[in-house]
Amino acid sequence: MTAQELQKAVLRHLELSLGKDLAHATVYDIRMSLTLAVRDQVIAPWFESTRKTYAAQSKRVYYLSMEFLIGRLLEDAVNNLGLKQTAQEALDALGFDLTQVIADEPDAALGNGGLGRLAACFLDSMSTIGCPGMGYGIRYEHGLFRQSFHDGVQIEEPEDWLRQPHGWEFARPEAVERIGFGGTVEAHDGRMRWSPADAVLAKAHDTPIIGWQGQWANTLRLWGAEPIQAFDLEAFNRGDFVGAAEQEAFARTISRVLYPDDTNGEGKELRLKQEYFFTAASLRDILRRFLSEHDDLELLPQKVAIQLNDTHPAIAGPELIRILHDEHGLEFDHAMALARNTLSFTNHTLLPEALERWPQALMARVLPRHLQIIARIEEAFLAAQPESPVRILEDGDVRMGELSFIMAHRVNGVSALHTGLVKSTVFAQLHRTFPDRIVNQTNGVTPRRWVLGANPRLSALITDRIGPGWVDDLEQLGALEPHVEDAGFMADYAASKAGNKADLAAWIADTTGIAVDPAAMFDVQIKRIHEYKRQHLNILETIALWQDMRANPRAGWVPRVKIFGGKAAPGYVRAKEIIRLINDVARVINADPVTGDLLKVVYPANYNVSMAEKLIPASDLSEQISTAGKEASGTGNMKFALNGALTIGTLDGANVEIREHVGAENFFLFGMTAEEVVARREDPQHQAKAIAASPRLAGALKGIADGTFSDGDGARYAALLADLRGHDYFTICADFDSYWNCQRQVDAAFADPARWMRMAALNTARSGWFSSDRTIRGYMADVWDITPLI
Ligand code: 26Y
């Protein structure tokens, strides 16, 4: 497509789809017109992919996820279709700037964090590799809340991405499923029949996901809930106008909003309904497609692979059995075996509070037939494993982890360390019973979005030296390694980082009003705010550094900008205290003339995918400092390493594998190992001893306690401090000195720019393994048993 052709297509959509002429077109109008023009280019490969899949009678993969944190789509699509340059020229000619048009798209935040972003990277990789499949999720009207700070305190406001029409999707009014809730179960002619009391419609909305160079496209199908009947006419005619709309209100509530908790499952009835809603709709859709091609249910596991993204769609097991047994008349054990051979399950966390449990009483009310089926699953399991102490039904709850494990033929962890812990802790008993079931699939990230799209400077440099093949074959980055000996390459590498940092400094000034020195080290921690991720360890080190700098401002400090980004679950009190503390500390330090440009603390509000795309390419230091054993994998860590930020991190999650790949000498390691953390907690005085041994830590804690950062209000952080001094489950204190010392090694390395840049370039060259293309190939081989169609 030429720029002229694209320009014509944009103008055609501007007139015919938006009803505007160029003279009156806004950025929104142009963005929508360009979106529609680019979407037109996706249709042919999309149809072609479907045709090939049918022709090959191929197995398909269905990725069921409560979350898809996709962010903006226009730039990705333009890049994947090779239309970046073309689009730029086309818009220039119309008097619009492509960058500005791209930034006009709302950031689709249909997810909380890692798990949802991983699902989005997987969609991109499946389409790039030619793995036939679909993502299934919920079309939330409101994604993750918008964050702002009032006096440093997090305020949540509703997010509104669907206020404007969503240009990428196709509504499918014909693709609707009726989803029931509640009601009764009765036997009819020897079969159980569930008669739900309420029902809603699930309506499909399809977004095509185009792969690299437009060679393949899959579909993301999101279900929106709608009433079966918009209006109860009988009630209306009685004069009960509000009651007449009740159905509608209930239905729409189901897909209204994303739950903003990423760990504290509150066991809310509405969440259970959301889970069943999208899982049941997806399964019916999958079975209908399967039965349109095959007439033998026996073939299901050969033709269909269903991946459960954590336990959120775990009701898929019982629901699939219900369909096969109650509706199609298969024997229960037979139905169960077919379901298990079709399903597989990914575990993303070991935190006990994130393992879903639903009260049996609630399940009996909302999904009465499923509760019966779950009891039979447990019976069948115990009949085969009479010695096993494992139960799905326990303490009045349904344990969704155990259910998922028993109903899956493969269970995977998301990094080598995490998978080992899955085997030795949460699912130790089940692992003993089924020693081949658990496999590892270390996470990855898509290089299209996280390098090519987010870091055009670095991308151009890489392509200039090793050609363009790296974009869908990321291990080719290894070919950069000899170039680190080339002064010309290193100068260009440093210049690309400097350019990104200058851009970020300008953006920080714009959005926060804080002036930062682009030559300072950009030290970045961006992720959900959580105690186990230890943003408070970082801020304690920041305070200690500031105190040292003030005491001795001329000691040759390495200037730093500490950058934080992330949201806290609205009900997570301690996480919100940490947010306030960071903002309080930032206010005081940024106003201090003694430290000046030596130290700044920046915390832009409303961190999201688009903000990550700005921050990561401009980072020098990547903070991956979770308490060892707690971060299942991390994926931000991979994005940073690829973009040439050095990691300061613990031996946790995929940090372990990143360190192995980039080399221990190019990674700043500190802190206790997972085993050491467990051992240290045995000593109830571990935090007190650490504080007593570290005047710096004691000084930082004291600074908080005496109100230095809270206008003299010593009580503001009393609870946080009491926890650190009294319990400190996340071993902030015990790891503090190790972290401090490691940070000073970071300073020394940064003070030698040639050494630093060489380490950074080696991180880029050696991180190719962390492509989600590699991860998806692993799932295809070890979990899904499917081969690519391109
Ligand atoms: C039960 C409910 C409240 C719940 C909702 C969301 C529980 C958990 C989550 C999300 C978990 C999550 O995002 N886990 C992250 O998954 C990433 C992808 O595998 C990992 O890289 C990351 O370490 C892990 O915390």
d(CA 454, CA 642): 11
207 among known catalytic residues:
no
pLDDT at 233: 80
Q: How many A from CA of 115 to the centre of ligand 1?
A: 5
Least confident of 259-273, 314-328, 505-519: 259-273
| pLDDT at residue 576 tops 80 | yes
pLDDT digits (tens, 9 = 90+) for 207-266: 999 999 999 999 999 999 999 987 778 888 888 888 888 888 889 999 999 999 887 666
The backbone torsions φ and ψ at residue 450, rounded to the nearest 5 degrees and listed phi first, read: -90, -10
DSSP-derived 3-state class of residue 92? helix
Q: Beta-carbon neighbour count of residue 585 at 10 Å? A: 26
**pLDDT-based confidence at residue 612 (cuts at 50, 70, 90):** very high
Length of the chain in terms of residues written: 790
Nearest-angstrom CA–CA distance, 319 and 316 = 5
Residue pair 462/730 in contact (Cβ under 8 Å)? The answer is no
Classify domain 447-770 at the CATH topology level. Answer: Rossmann fold (3.40.50)
Is 716:710 a contact under the CB 8 Å cutoff? yes
Strands in 133-138's sheet, in edge-to-edge order, are: 170-181, 198-210, 217-226, 133-138, 60-64, 304-309, 343-346, 410-413, 438-440
Q: Where are the alpha helices (DSSP H) in 56-131?
A: 74-80, 84-94, 98-103, 114-129
For residue 276 the two structure tokens come to: 């069943």
| Residue nearest to ligand 1 atom 9, measured at CA | 262
Going by C-beta distance under 8 Å and a sequence separation of 6 or more, which residues neighbour residue 124? Answer: 76, 209, 211, 446, 448, 449, 772
Q: Other C-beta atoms within 10 Å of 181: how many? A: 21
The per-residue pLDDT for 353 is 85
The pick from 121, 122, 262 for probing ligand 1's pocket by mutation, whose C-beta has the most ligand atoms within 8 angstroms, reads 262
Q: Among the options 72, 348, 410, 497, which is catalytic? A: 348
Give yes or no: 348 in active site.
Answer: yes
Q: pLDDT (tens digit, 9 = 90+) per residue, 413-458? A: 999 999 999 999 999 999 999 999 999 999 999 999 999 999 999 9
Bridge partner residues of 307 (DSSP): 63, 344
Cα 177 from Cα 195, distance rounded (Å): 16
Interatomic CA distance for residues 339 and 320, integer angstroms: 6
Is 533 one of the annotated active-site residues of the chain?
Answer: yes
What single DSSP character describes residue 449?
I
* Contact between residue 336 and residue 300 where contact means Cβ atoms under 8 Å apart: no
| DSSP 8-state symbol, 751 | T
Q: At what angle do helices 535-551 and 732-750 cross, to 10 degrees?
A: 60
Q: What is the pLDDT of residues 489-500, one digit of tens each?
A: 999 999 999 999
Under a CB-based contact definition with an 8 Å cutoff, are residues 611 and 332 in contact? no
Q: What is the pLDDT of residues 160-210, one digit of tens each?
A: 999 999 999 999 999 999 999 999 999 998 899 999 999 999 999 999 999
Residue 528 sits at the vertex; the CA angle it makes with 527 and 534, to the nearest 5 degrees, is 80
Q: Is 271 in the pocket of ligand 1 (CB under 6 A)?
A: no
| 619 Cβ closer than 6 Å to some ligand 1 atom | no
Four-point Cα dihedral 387, 391, 393, 396, nearest 10: 100
Q: Is ligand 1 within 6 A of the CB of residue 343?
A: no
Q: Does the beta carbon of 115 sit less than 6 angstroms from any atom of ligand 1?
A: yes
Atom of ligand 1 nearest to the CA of 265: 3
Best of 67, 259, 310, 639 for a ligand 1 pocket test (most atoms within 8 Å of beta carbon): 310
Within 8 A by CB and 6+ apart from 692, the residues are 698
Strand order across the beta sheet in which 393-394 lies: 357-359, 397-399, 393-394
Q: Which among 340, 527, 562, 661 is annotated as catalytic? A: 527
Asked if 701 and 540 touch (Cβ cutoff 8 Å), the reply is: yes
263 touches ligand 1 (CB under 6 Å): yes
Look at residue 190 in the predicted model and tell me its pLDDT.
Answer: 86
Exposure pattern of 238-254 as b/e (b: 16+ CB <10 Å)? eeeeeebbebbeebbeb
pLDDT in tens, 725-760: 999 999 999 999 999 999 999 999 999 999 999 999
Which of 399, 528, 576, 600 is the catalytic position?
A: 528
ipTM above 0.90, yes or no: yes
Amino acid at 84: K
> d(Cα 751, Cα 505) in Å, to the nearest integer?
20
Kindly give the distance from the C-alpha atom of residue 300 to the centroid of ligand 1, in angstroms, as a whole number. 29
> What pLDDT was estimated at residue 423?
98
The pLDDT assigned to 266 comes to 67
Q: Is 493 left (phi over 0), alpha (psi -120 to 50) or beta?
A: alpha
- Give percent of the chain with pLDDT exceeding 90: 95
Instruction: State the first-to-last Cα distance of the chain, in angstroms, to the nearest integer.
Output: 23
Sequence-distant (≥ 6) Cβ neighbours of residue 428 within 8 angstroms: none
Structure token pair of residue 121: 């990277």
Residue type, 705: A
What is d(CA 583, CA 576) in angstroms, rounded to the nearest whole number?
A: 11
Active site residue 527: yes
Of 86, 128, 219, 635, which one is the catalytic site residue? 635
Contact 677, 732 (CB under 8 A): no
**Which residue's CA is the nearest one to ligand 1's atom 6?**
262
Cross-strand pairs, 215? none
Could you tell me the residue ranges of all domains in the chain?
56-72+107-443+776-784, 447-770
CA separation for the pair 618, 277 (Å, rounded): 41
Amino acid identity for residue 288 in this structure = R
Whole-angstrom distance, CA of residue 319 vs CA of residue 134: 19
315 closest CA partner among 378, 252, 407: 407
Alpha helices in 313-427 (DSSP H): 316-321, 332-342, 360-366, 368-384, 400-406, 416-424
CA angle 475, 481, 482 (to 5 degrees): 135
What's the CATH architecture for 56-72+107-443+776-784? 3-Layer(aba) Sandwich (3.40)
CA-nearest of 583, 608, 527 to 159 is 608
Tens of pLDDT, residues 468-485 = 999 999 999 999 999 999
CA–CA distances in Å: residue 208 to residues 49, 169, 471, 596? 11, 7, 20, 49
Mean pLDDT of 587-616: 98
Distance CA 318, CA 528 (A): 32
626 lines ligand 1 (CB under 6 A): no
- Residue from 63, 140, 257, 263 to probe ligand 1 pocket by mutation (most atoms less than 8 Å from CB): 263
155's enclosing H/E stretch is strand 153-157
Q: Which of 689, 671, 786 is nearest to 739 (CA)?
A: 671
pLDDT value of residue 199:
96
Is-same-fold flag (56-72+107-443+776-784; 447-770)? yes
Q: Which of 473, 525, 482, 547 is nearest to 772 (CA)?
A: 473
Is 635 a catalytic site residue?
yes
Query: Would the CB of 226 count as within 6 Å of ligand 1?
Result: no
Whether the per-residue pLDDT at 267 is higher than 80: the answer is no
Express each pLDDT in 38-81 by its tens digit: 999 999 999 999 999 999 999 999 999 999 999 999 999 999 99
CA 557 → CA 233, 360, 494, 596, 662, distances in Å? 74, 59, 21, 12, 27
Q: What is the mean pLDDT of residues 583-608?
A: 98
